[in-house]
């Protein structure tokens, strides 16, 4: 499978949609943009400067389509605290931030992750990335398993600190209600991205 991407851009605070049929290359593209997969050729730029694969890991947060690929701790508190492990705040400050974040995303900090419903695990994914505070996020089918209002709220929270959002979805009306531009992936070829 070969991806062909002539150009793709995402600005801070912008929401851009990526649509296309199953197997067209959307998730492969996403893994590449966040540094999980290497490229054969081409470049990535952040603020006009070329960045490498390791840099992409710190710039782009990827909310996977399947939350079970991302969640591995016992409780909501543990998952959220793990996101803050590199911070220099005190334990008390971290715990307060975890509790506030859980409230924002309608989560019970003492809930056991393995027994949470699919939709609430999506909320937890979004909360984890909110704490990671990346400049850009890829939200891979965030709208599956949650209501429109919940998806809108999570997108708004992730964008609230200036992040740019690449929204992958099969729901064209959801994409059109949020995105200023839309890219279309078809058989590994990315096209579109023009302003509406």
Q: Is the pLDDT higher at 85 or at 1?
A: 85
Distance (Å, rounded) from C-alpha 130 to C-alpha 105? Answer: 10
Is the model's pLDDT at 57 over the cut of 90? Answer: no
142 — pLDDT class (breaks 50, 70, 90): confident
The predicted model scores a pTM of 0.89
Among 19-23, 83-87, 96-100, 167-171, the range with the most confident prediction by mean pLDDT is: 96-100
Is the model's pLDDT at 90 over the cut of 70? Answer: yes
DSSP, res 128:
H
Distance (Å, rounded) from C-alpha 27 to C-alpha 64? Answer: 9
Identify the three-state secondary structure at position 194.
strand
**Kind plus residue range of the DSSP H or E element containing 173:** helix 172-178
Is the model's pLDDT at 25 over the cut of 90? Answer: no
Q: Is the pLDDT higher at 193 or at 188?
A: 188
Closest alpha carbon to 77 in 56, 62, 91, 66 = 91
100 — pLDDT class (breaks 50, 70, 90): very high
Is the model's pLDDT at 196 over the cut of 70? Answer: no
Query: For a pLDDT cut of 90, what percent of the chain falls above it?
Result: 56
Q: In this predicted structure, what is the pLDDT of residue 42?
A: 86
Strands 60-63 and 136-140: parallel
C-alpha distances in Å from residue 14, one per residue of 46, 61, 150: 15, 15, 19
Distance (Å, rounded) from C-alpha 111 to C-alpha 154? Answer: 19
């Amino acid at each position: 499978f070969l991806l062909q991407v002539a150009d793709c851009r995402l600005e801070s605070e912008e929401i851009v949609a990526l649509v296309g049929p199953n197997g067209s290359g959307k998730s492969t593209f996403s893994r590449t943009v966040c540094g999980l997969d290497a490229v054969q050729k081409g470049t990535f730029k952040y603020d006009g400067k070329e960045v490498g694969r390791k840099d992409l890991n710190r710039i782009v947060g990827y909310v996977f389509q399947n939350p079970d690929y991302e969640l591995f701790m016992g409780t909501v508190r543990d998952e959220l605290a793990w996101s803050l492990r590199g911070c220099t705040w005190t334990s008390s400050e971290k715990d307060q931030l975890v509790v506030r974040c859980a409230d924002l995303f309608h989560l019970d900090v003492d809930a056991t992750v393995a027994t949470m419903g699919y939709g609430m695990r999506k909320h937890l994914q979004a909360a984890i990335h909110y704490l990671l505070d990346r400049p850009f996020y890829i939200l891979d089918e965030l709208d599956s398993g949650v209501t429109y209002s919940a998806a809108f709220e999570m997108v708004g929270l992730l964008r609230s600190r200036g992040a740019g959002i690449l929204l992958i979805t099969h729901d064209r009306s959801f994409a059109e209600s949020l995105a200023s531009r839309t890219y279309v992936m078809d058989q590994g070829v990315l096209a579109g991205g023009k302003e509406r």
